[in-house]
Each structure stands twice: as structure tokens, then as C-alpha cells.
Homo-oligomer: A and B are copies of this chain.
Amino acid sequence: MPLSFRHLTSTKQLSRADADAVLSRAAAMDKVLAKGKPDDRMHGKILAALFYEPSTRTRLSFETAMLRLGGQVITADGFQFSSLYKGETIEDTITMVSQYADIIAMRHPEQGSADKAASVSLVPFINAGDGPGQHPTQALLDLYTIAKERGKVDGLRVAMVGDLKFGRTVHSLTFLLGLYKDLHFTYVSPKELKIPEKVTSFLKEKDIPFEEMTTFDGAFDADIIYMTRIQKERFADASEYERLKHVYVLHADQLKGKNATVLHPLPRVGEIDPDVDALPNAAYFRQAKNGVPTRMALIEMLLEG
């Protein structure tokens, strides 16, 4: 079944059927990768990776996905992105690039830039993060990781920890998990960084139970502990950042006897002690790896579209 959209800018576009279709295709892509044999189904196709702000992890994951499918990549990254400082509009840039490439992934620091881009793109467009806005491919790889690690999504208890205000992955993932049944959310954050009203009103509207707290302890009994980095770049006041950056740090002993799966979008900067890495609970590196099959699935499905 094809996806219900041509461009992916927000997880809010996905129906449950869309989400399930992506999970199923990502699992198929994992099998392709496991074979370790060249796959050439995208031979002759080009992905344009336009990163107006740098994000090595996301960019390399997209590029790897396209190359693993036998396609090719053209890249514009960060300060090199000359048209930007020459004052060109996003619409003009995308009109041009969508005449070169077969599919576009764009990261941009401004919220709403992805919608502008999608409105003019002549080829499928994927939002790879638009500032404080959405980051749907991260949310989809998170979902795929949850499904793979736990064998299901319905019925899970999910705790999200850290910067829940600026952390767009937390918002995108909540909207996406909202498609599933019988979930329960626990939001753990300092009061300065609590989950915004746009997310809680979504949960209320859909009658999804959730709690908010400032203490870390409430997270340990969840099925999923989704840790996030407190982002220095979001604070005007450096001392405020220093005070909050390590307010929640996960250690191995806190997980003793716990069944929780620990996720983190990475990079981490101290929120998870390296002593957690060796535990079976630690799924964050497997999560990073899942970015490749998830993006392979999306590229293929959007190009089939």
C-alpha cells in the first residue's frame, strides 16, 4: 500500500496504516542489509541532502540509506551552502534542486521551512529536521526501534526524560505513538523544560493518559525510557544551562532488575553513563543503526509513491 502523502514534513501526516507500512518496509530493509550483498534497486537515482545546519549523524544516515539501495547522493552542507547567504529563498533553492535530484532530504534551522520546501518541490521531499519544528524520520526510526526491541508498540508505558520543551524528537515521537493503543506517557523534566501545551493538548484530545514530574525515579518502571540531551544552544543564559544539563543522569545501578529499554537520539553529553552501554537495556546504538533501514524504507516508498 502506498503512503498517504508525497512529501514527509511531520509525523502528524501519518495514519496508523502508514506507520505500520513503514515499520514493515524497514524490517524488509534490515533483511537486505543483513545479507551484505549489493542492492541496486535505486541505481541511477539521486538523493539531494541539503543541510542548512550541520547534522552529521542524520546526514550520514540518509546518505548511507541511499547508497545501500544503489543510488547516488549530492550534498550541500552548512556554511558551504552559499545560496543561503546570497539571500535566495528556500522555494527557489528547492525548485532548482528538485530539477537535479529524484528525492530531497533537508535540514534547516527555521520552523516551517520544510512546509515551504514541500510546497514547491517537484520530487518527493523529506524533512530532516526544521529547527524547533519536526524531525519525522527520527521519530520513525525511534518507533521502529521500539517495535523491534519490544515486539509491539500497543500497550507500552513510555517515559521521556530531559529537555521536553525544545526537544523536537520528543514531540514528533509522541504524535506518532499517538496512533497506537493503550499507551501511557510519563514526562520527566525540570519545570523550565516541561512538555509544551501543544503536546499535552494532543494527548488530552486523544484521551491518552500521561503524567508530568520533575523526579527521575518515576521513569524507571516504564517499558521505554527515552533520554534526551539538554541542548546548550537553546539557552541564552550559560549558567542556566550549567545548572540543568546534568539534572538527570542514568546509571547502570538504576536499571538493576528493570526491563526498560533505554533510547536516546544521540549525541549524548553525559545523560547516560557509559556503564549503561553494556546492559541489554541499552538500545541507543541499535537505535542509531536503525536509522539506515528506516530511511531506506522511506526513500523507496516515497519514490514508489
Residues of A that sit less than 8 Å from B by CB:
37-39, 43-44, 46, 48, 51, 53-57, 59-61, 63-64, 67-68, 70, 72, 74-83, 86-88, 92-93, 95-97, 99-101, 229, 266-269, 285, 288-289, 292
A78 to B162, CA, bound (A): 30
Given A38-B44, A56-B76, A56-B93, 19 more A-B residue pairs with CB atoms under 8 Å apart are A53-B82, A54-B79, A56-B82, A59-B76, A60-B97, A64-B74, A64-B100, A64-B101, A67-B72, A86-B269, A87-B269, A88-B266, A92-B267, A96-B266, A96-B285, A96-B289, A99-B288, A99-B292, A100-B289
Question: Top 7 closest A-B pairs, CB basis?
Answer: A38-B44, A88-B267, A54-B82, A99-B289, A87-B269, A64-B100, A67-B72
A289 to B101, CA, bound (A): 10
- Structural contact, B269 and A57, CB atoms closer than 8 A: no
Question: What are 6 A-B residue pairs whose CB atoms fall within 8 Å in the complex?
Answer: A54-B79, A54-B80, A57-B96, A67-B72, A88-B268, A96-B285
- Structural contact, A81 and B67, CB atoms closer than 8 A: no
Residue of B nearest to A82 (CB): B54
Q: Which one of B51, B53, B60, B285 lies within 8 Å of A48 (CB-CB)?
A: B60
Q: Which one of B37, B78, B93, B95 lies within 8 Å of A79 (CB-CB)?
A: B78
- Structural contact, A288 and B78, CB atoms closer than 8 A: no
Residue of B nearest to A290 (CB): B99
How many chain copies does the complex carry?
3
Task: Name the distance in Å between A69's Cβ and chain B's nearest Cβ.
Answer: 10
- Structural contact, A67 and B74, CB atoms closer than 8 A: yes
A100 to B288, CA, bound (A): 9
Residues in B neighbouring A82, C-beta threshold 8 A: 53-56, 78
Residues in B neighbouring A64, C-beta threshold 8 A: 46, 74, 100-101
- Structural contact, A43 and B38, CB atoms closer than 8 A: yes
- Structural contact, A76 and B101, CB atoms closer than 8 A: no
Residues in B neighbouring A268, C-beta threshold 8 A: 88, 92
A95 to B288, CA, bound (A): 9
A96 to B267, CA, bound (A): 10
**Given the contacts A60-B76, A74-B60, A96 and B288 also touching, CB distance less than 8 Å:** yes
**Given the contacts A100-B292, A269-B87, A285-B99, A78 and B80 also touching, CB distance less than 8 Å:** yes
